[in-house]
Structure 1
Amino acid sequence: MFKQLSLLDQAQVRELKNIADQAQFVDGKISNPYSKVKNNLQLHDVEGYKKSSKILHDALMANREFVDFAFPERVAPPLITRYKPGMNYGLHSDSAIIPLPDGPLRSDLSCTIFLSDVNDCKGGALHVTQGEAGMRFKGIPGTAIVYPSYTLHEVEPVTEGERMVAITFIQSKIPDVMNRNLMYELNEVAALEGLNMAHENYTRLQAVQYNLMRKWMR
């Protein structure tokens, strides 16, 4: 259900930070005015948004682990957000439908891409709940975490420094989370062990893969 990625090299991280340093940020409620739990800043600069979202989108689509895990059909343009001391994003699940200029996107998966150094920020962990348990993520710059959009999650309060990340949402070709995870695991096993199998058995395994993709993909 979760996938951690090494996504950006340090040159890309520096470029994104430079874009953010020169861009305007506004209250994050501009994109969700009715939220009672959102307390952050988001990039509000046309050129900076175009440039940064292209760098991030291209990096995601070039990352084989991401593509194999998410089966992306559409990816929302990633958006850089900031959290200063006292800011947080309370417990919430992400909206099922993300309005975009080219039509609504169904959010099957959410992705947080870490840009700031974890040592420069106290607090600010991404906390994703699983029943009564939970997982906390504070990645090093250039890493990312992909997780189901339906999960309840929060950004814990920043107490010192600044948290800077980019966020995006993915519409998957396999909407059902269980089917998507099974397809991912089956593909991984086939990739790792397929060459060790008898040819006729590997052929049968491929037929199962292809037929499940026909059945589950939308």
Structure 2
Amino acid sequence: MLQHVPDLLTVEELAEARRLLASADWVDGKVTAGTQAATVKNNQQLPESAPQIRALRQLVLMALNRNALFFTAALPSKILPPFFNRYSGEANQYGFHVDNAMRMPPDGGGYVRADVSATLFLSEPDEYDGGELIIEDTFGRHAVKLNAGSLVIYPSSSVHKVNPVTEGARVACFMFIQSMVRDAEKRRLLYDMDMSLMQLRHQVGETEPVVHLTGVYHNLLRHWAE
């Protein structure tokens, strides 16, 4: 499931993230690429030693933790500490690849299974040319280029790429999430059901059928969650 989460960051949070990244020293983005991905990855990344990275990660994680749409779409169990990248100049693209299934946190403390990948755009669309995130699924190819502060999530199993940035700079945050529900189709069913339940509550209130269906949702989540 491909899901947009608009305005994940507040105006103030976005301004702070951009302020912190304005003075960043970037390194080769291959530092977090797998064997196959490294052959097509040509961008820059904020290194683990960067003085800004702790504050940036805290800012993004706080925004994720309060966002109900992100929670219901991803059903996060573990979130790998977010990373930050930049596409500009000669380091301007990332060819088609699939994200590694297992990701090790920067502190080396075990592995996180990547069920859901996410990109949080930190540059406005008119600040760079190109740079669309291209995601392939059973319905074809989707080009994603969102307003700064907005997020897109999609299955980590998807083949995807970032088109070349031909002008300006594209700065973003990317992250990997282990979901409580491993199977993407089951996550989609739960998402659709949760969205419908919210609409029903708004239209008719907490009626007996709504309460019953809410129980069905939670029992399915209880049955499918790991």
TM-score bracket relative to the smaller structure: over 0.9
1:161-215: per-residue Cα shift (whole Å, max 9, x none)?
A: 1110000011111111111111111122222214727844234323312221121
1:45-70: per-residue Cα shift (whole Å, max 9, x none)?
A: 34311111110111111111101111
- Determine whether 1:79 maps to 2:83: yes
- SS of residue matched to 2:52: helix
Work out the CA distance in 2 between the residues paired with 1:198 and 1:139: 35
Q: Work out whether residues 79 and 166 of structure 1, in 8 Å CA contact, stay in contact via their aligned partners in 2.
A: yes
Q: Percent identity?
A: 32
1:31-57: per-residue Cα shift (whole Å, max 9, x none)?
A: 227410010000023431111111011
- SS of residue matched to 2:45: strand
1:122-170: per-residue Cα shift (whole Å, max 9, x none)?
A: 1110001125721101111111101111000000011111110000011
Runs of 4+ in 1 over 3 A off after TM superposition: 197-200
Match of 2:158 among 146, 151, 154: 151
Matches within 5 A, 1:114-153: 114-131=121-138, 133-153=140-160
Work out the CA distance in 2 between the residues paired with 1:106 and 1:210: 23
- Determine whether 1:38 maps to 2:41: yes
Work out the CA distance in 1 between the residues paired with 2:51 and 2:26: 13
Work out the CA distance in 2 between the residues paired with 1:15 and 1:198: 40
Match of 2:170 among 158, 163, 178: 163
1:70-114: per-residue Cα shift (whole Å, max 9, x none)?
A: 111111111110001341000001110010133211111111000
Partner of 1:66: 70
Larger mean CA deviation between 208-217 and 158-167 belongs to 208-217
Matches within 5 A, 1:1-218: 1-5=1-5, 6-32=7-33, 34=35, 35-44=38-47, 45-86=49-90, 87-100=92-105, 101=107, 102-131=109-138, 133-194=140-201, 196=204, 199-218=207-226
Work out the CA distance in 2 between the residues paired with 1:79 and 1:200: 45
Work out the CA distance in 1 between the residues paired with 2:124 and 2:208: 50
Which structure 2 segments of 5+ residues have no match? none
Give the alignment's TM-score, normalised by structure 2. 0.90
